[in-house]
Amino acid sequence: MKLIQDISFKDKTALIRVDFNVPISKNGIINDRTRIKSHINTINNIIDNGGKVILVSHLGRPKGVWEKNLSLKNLVEAVSFESKRKVCFLDQKIGSKKLNEKISLTSRDEIILLENIRFYKEESSGDLLFCKNLSRLADVFVNDAFGTAHRKHSSTFHVAKYFNEKCIGNLFYKEYSSIFRVINNFSSPLTAIIGGAKISSKINVIKSFMSFADNILIGGGMMFTFIKSAGGEIGDSIFEEDELVKAASLLEMAKKNNVNLIVPKDSINSRAFVDNEDYIISDSKSIPEGLIGLDIGPKTVSEFKNIISKSKTIVWNGPMGVFEFKNFSTGTKEVAKAVASVTKKGAFSLVGGGDSISALKKFDLSSEVSYVSTGGGAMLHFLETKKLPAVQAILD
């Protein structure tokens, strides 16, 4: 697969698919610029190598209709500030003469930013004419949007086939190679730590880990679906009725595959879903009625820490409890500290998923893990299927 370093951009125009899907308020104020900042290196690299740059991104889920607060016009100032370049926003229709004319009038050191690609219904339908028109704007296709690498949309997948020259950008490469390392080139023992509220969104990734992980540590609300499926009493804790059979079969599968799948043995419970100090620790399979399990218990924490400390590769997605509440954040915090500490000793740790990233930030440990993946959905898809449509499109 080609990288931007393998292509000569001199006097060529590059269409770069970026992921500028930043959190934005109703009046167009950007609340976090991380996603913009993370693409600047790719953009500047191409311009510095003599290329002209056209950026394509989505923002939010407008489903084919124009929405003022989701216009990429709102991002012009931020992109300009972060890249230290002039940004030319062009909202003329893709496929129109006007857009082509405007692009040809723009100077090479200016960044061209097109309107939100999801304002076109053709983006999700993969319309061929739309893709052709998009491809006619440039000579090279660069995909730097790892966060949408699992989607077969026009600008992330279909458009690539109309380019002879195509590659992935620097951010895409960093994200891709970190996850690739976990799937294909890891040191054992490998420990997957999976948490969060729902088992339904992570069941496939857990299944996939069965074929290559040594340990799978389960935390968060999803633990209760496992415990209930094995006949445990979980009080009023959350669980997913529809996933009970699948959870039971995963427990069976782990035994057959000789994978050390650990469901927490104790939990910290509360009488209500509130941050109170009046918590009760119990065996996680005999939680009394009226109590809700909101964090993993102390026995589980020490068991998890022990396993993490002996691991050489760690993948973590999803908090161990309701870490947003101080009284139920210990499990997540202790796991984060254990991951940071084993990383210091040379293990490779990959952390992804919005809530795990927030937890690392909250405990000031973001820089203490090997890699923080910002493409949550794409990361799970890649770990689940070991493939990514966007990568396939660049290789074809």
What distance in Å separates the CA atoms of residue 17 and residue 148, rounded to the nearest whole number?
10
Is 235 a residue that touches ligand AMP (CB under 6 A)? no
Instruction: Tell me if residue 35 is catalytic.
Output: yes
Tokens at 248, concatenated: 């039971």
94-123 positions binding ligand AMP, by CB under 6 A: none
Tokens at 140, concatenated: 């090279």
Query: In this complex, which beta carbon is closest to ligand AMP, that of residue 263 or of residue 393?
Result: 263
271-300 positions binding ligand AMP, by CB under 6 A: 293-294
Helices (H), ranges, the chain: 34-37, 40-48, 76-83, 97-105, 122-125, 128-135, 170-184, 203-209, 223-229, 244-257, 298-309, 330-344, 354-362, 376-385, 389-395
- Nearest by Cα to 336 from 138, 193, 181: 193
Q: Residue 328 CB, nearest distance to ligand AMP (Å)?
A: 8
Among residues 110, 127, 275, 324, the one that binds ligand AMP under rule CB under 6 A: 324
Is 199 a residue that touches ligand AMP (CB under 6 A)? no
- Nearest by Cα to 53 from 61, 41, 63, 62: 41
Cβ of 315: how many Cβ atoms within 10 Å? 28
What distance in Å separates the CA atoms of residue 373 and residue 368, rounded to the nearest whole number?
14
What is the DSSP code (8-state) at residue 139?
S
Is 19 a residue that touches ligand AMP (CB under 6 A)? no
Is 221 a residue that touches ligand AMP (CB under 6 A)? yes
Sign of CA dihedral 179, 184, 189, 195: positive
Identify the active-site residue in 12, 152, 198, 246: 198
156-185 positions binding ligand AMP, by CB under 6 A: none
Query: In this complex, which beta carbon is closest to ligand AMP, that of residue 40 or of residue 338?
Result: 338
Instruction: Tell me if residue 377 is catalytic.
Output: yes
Q: Residue 205 CB, nearest distance to ligand AMP (Å)?
A: 11
Name the segment binding ligand AMP (CB under 6 A); options: 115-123, 178-186, 194-202, 276-284.
Answer: 194-202
135-154 positions binding ligand AMP, by CB under 6 A: none
Query: In this complex, which beta carbon is closest to ligand AMP, that of residue 252 or of residue 277?
Result: 277
Query: In this complex, which beta carbon is closest to ligand AMP, that of residue 235 or of residue 353?
Result: 353
The count of residues interacting with ligand AMP (CB under 6 A) is 16
Identify the active-site residue in 50, 64, 290, 354: 354
- Nearest by Cα to 179 from 150, 216, 151: 150
Is 331 a residue that touches ligand AMP (CB under 6 A)? no
- Nearest by Cα to 30 from 80, 70, 85, 64: 70
CA 332 from centroid of its chain's CA atoms: 19
- Nearest by Cα to 393 from 156, 79, 82, 122: 156
Among residues 2, 85, 102, 198, the one that binds ligand AMP under rule CB under 6 A: 198
Is 232 a residue that touches ligand AMP (CB under 6 A)? no
Is 217 a residue that touches ligand AMP (CB under 6 A)? no
Is 238 a residue that touches ligand AMP (CB under 6 A)? yes
Sign of CA dihedral 245, 251, 253, 256: negative
Q: Residue 256 CB, nearest distance to ligand AMP (Å)?
A: 27
Q: Residue 224 CB, nearest distance to ligand AMP (Å)?
A: 7
Cβ proximity of 268 and 297 under 8 Å: yes
Q: Residue 216 CB, nearest distance to ligand AMP (Å)?
A: 16
Q: Residue 238 CB, nearest distance to ligand AMP (Å)?
A: 5
What distance in Å separates the CA atoms of residue 143 and residue 134, rounded to the nearest whole number?
14
Q: Which residues bind ligand AMP (CB under 6 A)?
A: 196-198, 201, 220-221, 238, 293-294, 318-319, 321-322, 324, 353, 355
- Positions marked catalytic: 35, 198, 354, 377
